[in-house]
Copies of this chain bind each other. A is one copy, B any other.
Amino acid sequence: MSRSVKSPQLDAFDRKILAILQRDNSTPQRTIGDAVGLSAPAVQRRIKRMAEEGVIQANVAVLDPAALGQSITIFVEVEVISETAKQIEEAKSQFAAAPEIQQCYYVTGEADFVLVIVVPAMADYEALTRRLFFGNNNVKRFRTFVAMDRVKVGLSVPVER
């Protein structure tokens, strides 16, 4: 469920702060203040407010998948047979529950779902397909794309107006 809680009213200061935090959230508030032209407490209040409003959703460490033995990134388009609300919800929760699935989008177009998957080896992906796709009789078809290069990876949002 996507919840946009409030009407966030972001001014130019807020956007500059977000641009910095999005790149490195360990930046001291003092440093941020110098960069945007505010004092540290002012920066702190704005950050707190935006966290409460949900503009800042989380503060996370970005890890190197390869270092964790998860070196293969795979894209999958999934097409389902029946698109009843119940079955779509079922598919959503099933995909969301799989730890190998980093991202899952419900989409329009020639496919119904797009998945981004990270696994240690192709054998693991094969096992996953058996469990998730072949083991689900509502899956009509799926197409696999194996990533050879992660050209650009991130969840960064353009902040400028």
Instruction: Check if A143 is an interface residue, CB within 8 A of chain B.
Output: yes
A106, CB-defined interface residue at 8 Å:
yes
Contact residues of A: prevailing secondary structure: mixed
Contact B59 A110 (CB under 8 A): no
The residues in A between 66 and 112 inclusive whose CB is less than 8 angstroms from any CB of B are 66-68, 70, 73, 75, 77, 92, 95-96, 99-111
Given the contacts A57-B62, A99-B158, A105 and B151 also touching, CB distance less than 8 Å = yes
Residues of A within 8 A of B (CB): 2, 4, 8, 10, 15, 18, 21-26, 53-68, 70, 73, 75, 77, 92, 95-96, 99-111, 113-114, 116, 118, 143-160
